[in-house]
Structure 1
């Protein structure tokens, strides 16, 4: 809603989400920023794929080096599965 957008703007927060398709008032957002919103699903999908690796979710490793190694291995496996 427009009042919510105004309250967020007063706090310095930029809301980037599409208006309802049946909105009567003219849109208040620029289309360029909405294109960024439309590509957001790719990031969310990738994070969801990383959630399939229990070792990354639970994080048993105490050292960041080991965790980072498993993170990179998971990313490589995801990339290989896509091809």
Structure 2
């Protein structure tokens, strides 16, 4: 686990709040909600622009 990722215990508590069922079937579903959430937290922590998101979080 990278130091930028949230711990498993915290994700288990947050997952029901973050991964709500989709009401609108349009658009592409997220590939991995936890990875996306960790990427958002990284951006908030560093203040970096989205284009500087590390490759470990997937494409910006």
TM over 0.5: no
Q: Scaled by the length of structure 2, what TM-score is found?
A: 0.30
Structure with larger RCO (C-alpha < 8 A, sep 6+): 2
TM-score by length of 1: 0.26
**Structure (1/2) with the larger helix percentage:** 1
Which protein has the larger Cα radius of gyration, Structure 1 or Structure 2? Answer: 1
